[in-house]
Copies of this chain bind each other. A is one copy, B any other.
Amino acid sequence: MKKLNVGMIGYGFMGRAHSNAFRKVSNFFDLGYKPVLKAACARDEAKIKTFADKWGYESIETDWRKLLERKDIDVVDICAPNNLHKEIAIAASKAGKMILCEKPLAMNGVEGEAMVKEVEKSKIPNMVWYNYRRVPAVTLAKQLINEGKLGKIFHFRAKFLQDWTISADLPQGGTGLWRLDINAAGSGVTGDLLAHCIDTAIWLNGPIVKVTAMTETFIKERKHTLTGKVEPVGIDDACAFLARFANGSLATFESTRYARGHKAEYTFEINGENASIFWDLHDLHRMEYFEHRDEGRLRGWRSIHVTDGDHPYMDKWWVPGLQIGYEHSFVHHVADFIDGLDKNKPAMPDFKEALVTQYICDAVLKSAKTGDWEDVKQVKP
């Protein structure tokens, strides 16, 4: 079997999630390429060494530029903080490496445009890790919508609720906390959490044309772990917005890290003329489905345990009733990426499709400042 040599940049949470996916995918999927963990890269030599040993990477690098120079690397996986995505991705593209980039694509639309422009020039395969598309229940939702089961869509609503930053003692910046640092993250919940909701939304329900938003930073100052000083918090702790889709449906979106009782409660619901779908990350192996064409007295929300062989991806795993978890969405992501290479039919979202989400985030953040409805910049086909 052909090998796909992976160069990983980063060793944090996503570094682990992706490494696990690369390692597992060939045990469960029949694919044209087998990923090989060739090199792991980060500035801290001791840490990247430990990481590489743990996961079986064959070598390490401490400078991503060096990694890009290596001939034995086929694909670069960017798991560095958001503020590094653009620079690394453009360099990787110029070096002829395929790119898997952690979401969000970039700090903002302007950066994203530059990245898209570059990969359109180099024509190298590229993809962004919006992994939730590949949770089997979410993929099933996509199937149903594509088949027209829902009919005309009236409503979409999504939220992504967490509660891990309520304490004022939590610092910002540094390992594991760069998501709270505006300079590293670009935004708060908007880019981190709503980006996921938006990616799923546009995949399922098409383009968003305009939005009105509000954001809030509940805790105005936090100690910064890099400077050691108390500094203003630049990110949005919470964000909610109303939106109108091109298909005429209305939407509400909300995300916060101040919703006590919710760890990673990403839910969406879509209401169509004939059927509705609800999904919840906290029970990701289920899909709630309402079918209006059922006999009247027997209509009810069906709680579908998405673990059967005829559910997306599930023929690869165990037997009906035995659930998979969070990490499997990444395995599916890699499987589809490889399958796309093999069939020369790129898996989505590539940089260009991920730019759509970036534009929506930009409009949301702008509206939160202006108080106006903002039109969403559309990506040209």
A contact set with B: CB distance below 8 Å = 13, 16-17, 19-20, 23-24, 26-27, 54-56, 140, 144, 154-155, 157, 159, 161-164, 166, 212-214, 216, 218, 238, 240-242, 244, 248, 250, 252, 254, 256, 258-265, 271-276, 281-292, 294, 296-305, 307-308, 310-311, 317-328, 371-373
A140 and chain B: residue at smallest CB distance: B297
Contact, CB under 8 Å: B324 / A326: yes
Q: Judging by beta carbons under 8 Å apart, are A27 and B54 in contact? A: yes
B residues in contact with A294, CB < 8 Å? 302
Does the CB pair B327–A324 fall under 8 Å? yes
Q: Identify 30 residue pairs between A and B in the complex whose beta-carbon atoms are under 8 Å apart, listed by A's number.
A: A23-B27, A27-B55, A140-B297, A154-B258, A157-B254, A214-B242, A241-B242, A242-B242, A252-B252, A256-B271, A260-B276, A263-B308, A263-B322, A264-B320, A264-B321, A281-B322, A282-B321, A283-B323, A284-B323, A287-B300, A289-B300, A294-B302, A296-B310, A297-B304, A298-B304, A299-B302, A300-B305, A322-B325, A324-B325, A324-B327
Min Cβ gap A278→B in Å is 8
Q: Which residues of B contact A288 (CB under 8 A)?
A: 300
Shortest CB distance A280–B (Å): 11
Q: How far apart are the CA atoms of A373 and B318 in the complex, in Å?
A: 38
Does A320 contact B250, Cβ atoms closer than 8 Å? no
Closest B residue by C-beta to A318: B326
A121 to B305, CA, bound (A): 46
Given A27-B55, A154-B256, 6 other A-B residues pairs in contact with their CB atoms under 8 A: A20-B24, A218-B248, A260-B290, A297-B310, A299-B302, A303-B303
Set B259, B285, B305, B311: member contacting A271, Cβ < 8 A: B259
Most buried by B among A24, A252, A300: A300
B17, B252, B290, B311: the one contacting A261 at CB < 8 Å is: B290
Contact B212 A242 (CB under 8 A): yes
